[in-house]
Structure 1
Amino acid sequence: MSADDSVFTGAVAKFYETYMVPLIFEPYAEPAVRRALAPDVADVLEIAAGTGVVTRALALASDERVRIVATDLNQAMLDQAAAIGTARPVRWRQADAMRLPFADASFDAVVCQFGAMFFPDRVTAFAQARRVLRPGGRFVFSTWDRIEDNEFADTVTAAMASVFPSDPPRFLARTPHGCHDISEITRDLAQAGFGTSPRIDTVTARSRADSARTPAVAYCHGTPLRDEIEARGDLDQATSAAEQALTERFGSGPVDGRIQAHIVTVVNTPL
């Protein structure tokens, strides 16, 4: 992972919320929340909250007595999330998952949707999640499966290779789809100190949009792929190439592609 892969600027945050959230993140919010919440949960921490799609789902699904703290490394993402708001108050806080600023055993559940792929050291980040969990608490996180099983991302990546053949942008394959190996995820959790085997559910959903233009803009403008493109050439040209490739594969009208992810649930039983 490049050091820049985890940087989401204000411009990216707006496109991320407008395009990426409904395209690929909303379908996985409810399943993550359902796995994290239990009748005895009183304190929930979300890490890598992004623009708050899971935060909003947590606020809707939980009792008002449940405390929700939502964090992200990038303040621009939290600013976007706070501007949208939630059904009831939550606490927004900028925080690095590698060094969580919370006391040991502070939470009954830790939730992270599609953030683990960005951690520079997953074992360290997982150990931080375990540290702030109370005994018996749940760590629930999701990661994308192989890029080949996520059709829009795969198509856009191939299109970028055609535009920049000598140095193709590989952000989507390298980082969002770079943490799909179940055996590696299981090993990292064990090394982080989780004493039980995780439950890993591979969940397939559909990504739908009114035209190929939407996923083209989503991936080229609403992720750090944008920075890779702009470092090489023209963003509009690359977006148009992505749109053309998506149209050729999925048609000129509404588009519908497969997305696939792993949802991991592990209980904090020490080794």
Structure 2
Amino acid sequence: MTRRDAVFAGSIPKFYDTLLAPLIFEAYAADLAELVAVSSPDSVLETAAGSGVVTRALAPRLSAGARYVVTDLNLPMLNYASSRQGADRRIEWRQADALDLPFDDASFDVVCCQFGAMFFPNRTVAYTEARRTLRPRGRFIFNVWDRIEENVFADDVTNAVATMFPHDPPRFLARTPHGYHDIALIREELSRAGFSDIEIETHEKVSRANSARDVATAYCLGTPLRNDIEARDAGLLQVAIDRATMAIANRHGEGPVAGRIQALVIVATG
């Protein structure tokens, strides 16, 4: 992962939430919210909350007296999430690093994280922090994307943009969001952090958008792929969107379009 991979600033949070969230995140957020809420937890910590997709899905499922702490290291994303949520006295918004959580031991029944673990510089440390803040038999629930080849639109966009920079292709999507899918490694890092009961399932879904251009715009403007492209030539950002649009349209039609997405869903208990 490069330093640019974790920069979600400027207009990225808005495009991320308005285009990318319905494209690939909302269906998995509903699944994650259901997994968290099934045990009727009194206290929940969400790390790497991003633009609040899980927060909006989970908050209505928690009891009136529940404590829900929502965190992200990236303040622009956290501020955007808070602005979308509306008033809810149960929710505490905190800027926090998942590798150094500012909470006491055994503070939460559940720690959850949607598609954030791939960005952690040291996942074992982050998992150790999650376990430290969990009460006995508390659950750590999170998901990560499967390999990019199992996620059709991300692969299409990556390959299309690569043709513009053949000697230095922008590989953000393959490198980071889709770069942590080795189940044996995930189990090893969770075990090293002290988790003993680890369940990992593969969940396949269908990603849908109104048009090929919506998909291309979502990935090129709503993720740090934008940073990758602009670092090479900022003047070619629109060209990259056009190139990705053409590739998706050639394969899936102008729109509406649909493509397979796949993720790993993990439930770990200490």
Moved more, 149-158 or 80-89: 80-89
Cα deviation for residue 83 of structure 1 reads 1.0
Q: Is the 8 A contact 2:216 2:245 kept in 1?
A: yes
Q: Is the 8 A contact 2:41 2:62 kept in 1?
A: no
Calculate the TM-score normalised by the size of structure 2: 0.97
Cα deviation for residue 40 of structure 1 reads 4.7
Find the counterpart in structure 2 of residue 45 from structure 1: 45
Q: Residue 236 of structure 1: SS of its match in structure 2?
A: helix
Show CA shifts across 1:173-202 (max 9, x none): 000001111111000000111122x11111
The 5 Å alignment of 1:12-31 reads: 12-31=12-31
Q: Is the 8 A contact 1:59 1:86 kept in 2?
A: no
Q: Name the CA distance, whole Å, in 1 between partners of 2:64 and 2:224.
A: 35
The 5 Å alignment of 1:1-271 reads: 1-86=1-86, 88-89=88-89, 90-196=91-197, 198-233=198-233, 234-268=236-270
Q: Residue 163 of structure 2: SS of its match in structure 1?
A: helix
Q: Residue 131 of structure 1: SS of its match in structure 2?
A: helix
Q: Name the CA distance, whole Å, in 2 between partners of 1:28 and 1:87.
A: 24
Q: Is the 8 A contact 1:37 1:109 kept in 2?
A: no
Cα deviation for residue 82 of structure 1 reads 1.1
Which amino acid is 1:158 matched to?
A: N
Gaps of 5+ in 2: none
Q: Residue 201 of structure 2: SS of its match in structure 1?
A: strand
Q: Is the 8 A contact 1:56 1:87 kept in 2?
A: no
Which amino acid is 2:119 matched to?
A: F
Which amino acid is 1:202 matched to?
A: T
Q: Name the CA distance, whole Å, in 1 between partners of 2:148 and 2:87.
A: 34
Q: Is the 8 A contact 1:105 1:134 kept in 2?
A: yes
Cα deviation for residue 87 of structure 1 reads 6.9
Query: RMSD in angstroms over aligned alpha carbons?
Result: 1.1
Closer, same or farther: CA 65–190 of 1 in aligned 2, 3 Å? same
Calculate the TM-score normalised by the size of structure 1: 0.96
Show CA shifts across 1:102-142 (max 9, x none): 11110000000000000001101000100100111000000
Closer, same or farther: CA 263–87 of 1 in aligned 2, 3 Å? farther
Which amino acid is 2:13 matched to?
A: A
Q: Name the CA distance, whole Å, in 2 between partners of 1:249 and 1:25.
A: 22
Cα deviation for residue 253 of structure 1 reads 2.2
Which amino acid is 1:246 matched to?
A: I
Q: Number of residues paired by the alignment?
A: 267
Gaps of 5+ in 1: none
Q: Is the 8 A contact 1:117 1:175 kept in 2?
A: yes
Q: Name the CA distance, whole Å, in 2 between partners of 1:166 and 1:39.
A: 51
Runs (4+) of structure 1 exceeding 2 A deviation are: 37-40, 86-89
Closer, same or farther: CA 19–40 of 1 in aligned 2, 3 Å? closer
Q: Residue 158 of structure 2: SS of its match in structure 1?
A: helix
Q: Is the 8 A contact 2:203 2:264 kept in 1?
A: yes
Q: Is the 8 A contact 2:4 2:228 kept in 1?
A: no
Closer, same or farther: CA 27–87 of 1 in aligned 2, 3 Å? farther
Which amino acid is 1:11 matched to?
A: S
Closer, same or farther: CA 39–181 of 1 in aligned 2, 3 Å? closer
